[in-house]
Each structure stands twice: as structure tokens, then as C-alpha cells.
Amino acid sequence: KNEVEQSPQNLTAQEGEFITINCSYSVGISALHWLQQHPGGGIVSLFMLSSGKKKHGRLIATINIQEKHSSLHITASHPRDSAVYICAVRFENYGGSQGNLIFGKGTKLSVKP
């Protein structure tokens, strides 16, 4: 079964802490997205990965294809990083469908000042 699991479900951190959010999936993928959703509800795409590592500012995303695992790291966390972070995966073979995205349930991050 094609599944996406995120952990932790909830995360509270103090400002300045290093944060890691994990995403595991069950079978081979062609792409993995990390998304951010602020309390207002809008969704922003942070990264799209098919291999390796990407960095944007204080955010770093990595993917290990062999272990079927991706991590999103936030360095020097800030209260404005408080949001829900969502992993989304496009599986290589999802019933013959190339365009379907499967989402994790999200990680709710709260960064306290």
C-alpha cells in the first residue's frame, strides 16, 4: 500500500532550537514535496526533492531514496516558523497514475519565544 507517514505529529520548540521533521514512505517515489501551511490556511511549497539535499535560508531538506525517508530541518528556529509542515509524495507507480499526490498528515510546529 502506498503510504506516507510523518513524525512527530506535534512539536514545540524554544526559539533558536534546531528542528527536524521526518517523512517516511512505503514504496519508490518520483518526487517528494515539503509544504508549509500557516494558521491562516494558505499553503506554500518549500522544497521539491527527487534526490539529495536542498537548502533555502534556514531550511534544509534531505532525502534518502534507499531508506525511503526524508527530513526537513529548521536551523535557529523562530516563532514565525510556527506552522503545519506537510510532506507529499508522488509514487512511481500508483495504479498506473503518474499525477497523483499522497500527503502525510502534517506536523504542527510551535516555536516559543
Tell whether residue 91 is a contact of another protein (CB under 8 A): no
Strand order in the sheet with 4-7: 4-7, 19-25, 69-74, 59-64, 53-56
Q: In this chain, which stretch among 10-18, 19-27, 42-50, 60-68 interacts with another protein, using CB under 8 A?
A: 42-50
Tell whether residue 90 is a contact of another protein (CB under 8 A): yes
Q: Nearer Cβ to another protein, position 7 or 79?
A: 7
54: exposed, middle or buried (Cβ count in 10 Å: 0-12, 13-18, 19+): middle
69: exposed, middle or buried (Cβ count in 10 Å: 0-12, 13-18, 19+): middle
Name which position in 88, 89, 109, 111 contacts another protein (CB under 8 A): 88
Query: Which residues are near another protein by CB under 8 A?
Result: 30-31, 33, 35, 41-45, 47-48, 50, 86, 88, 90, 97-106
